[in-house]
């Protein structure tokens, strides 16, 4: 079941940090987001955070699933839930960004109907206190993807 995290509940940093790190970077945006959590048997196993860009555009700023739950469709469920909530808010476009070397995330987002539209050059170099690596490759640029919500996928 997916639900909105209440303001009085602690942030699930153990999951948030799977998608973005360190804490200081997450804290730059997370308090301006609505955080939705996916629970199973009372345990949070996934989350996504929605950040309004405008009345028509919303960004998924953070989306993550516990490592042991990955590959079981939870990520796709979270993306679908985020889309439903964006539509309910009247948004026409949903956007998400990921690292240029994050091949699995790029695959998952495109499979869900997102299309690449921009590249934020040196984003991870300019905005993070230390270099980040994925599969031995340094993250440098952020690939931005969008999904037009008036289309059916």
At 16-56, the pLDDT tens digits run 999 999 999 999 999 999 999 999 999 999 999 999 999 99
Write down the pLDDT at residue 1: 83
Distance between alpha carbon 147 and the CA centroid of its chain, in Å?
13
What's the pLDDT at 152? 59
Report whether 127 contacts 84 (CB < 8 A).
Answer: no
Domains and CATH numbers, the chain: 2-148 (3.40.630.30)
Dihedral through CA 78, CA 109, CA 64, CA 23, nearest 10? -130
- Structural contact between residues 54 and 87, judged by C-beta atoms closer than 8 angstroms: no
| Average pLDDT over all residues of the chain | 95
pLDDT at 153 over 60: no
Residue bearing tokens 């555009």: 57
Strand order in the sheet with 43-52: 2-4, 34-40, 43-52, 57-65, 93-99, 142-148, 115-120
- In this prediction the pTM is 0.93
**pLDDT tens per residue, range 74-117:** 999 999 999 999 999 999 999 999 999 999 999 999 999 999 99
Task: Examine the pLDDT at 150 and tell me if it is beyond 90.
Answer: no
Q: Where are the beta strands (DSSP E) in 41-108?
A: 43-52, 57-65, 93-99
pLDDT value of residue 63: 98
């Amino acid at each position: 079941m997916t639900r909105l995290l209440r303001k009085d509940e602690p942030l699930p940093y153990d999951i948030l940090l799977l998608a973005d790190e360190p804490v200081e970077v997450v804290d730059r945006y997370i308090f301006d987001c609505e955080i939705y959590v996916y629970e199973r048997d009372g345990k949070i196993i996934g989350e996504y955070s929605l950040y309004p860009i405008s009345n028509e555009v919303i960004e998924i700023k953070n989306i993550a699933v516990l490592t042991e739950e990955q590959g079981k469709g939870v990520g796709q469920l979270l993306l679908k839930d985020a889309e439903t909530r964006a539509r309910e808010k009247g948004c026409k476009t949903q956007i998400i960004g990921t690292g240029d070397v994050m091949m699995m995330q790029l695959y998952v987002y495109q499979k869900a109907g997102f299309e690449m539209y921009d590249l934020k050059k040196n984003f991870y170099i300019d905005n993070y206190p230390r270099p980040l690596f994925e599969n031995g490759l340094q993250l440098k640029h952020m690939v931005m993807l969008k999904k037009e919500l008036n289309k059916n996928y």
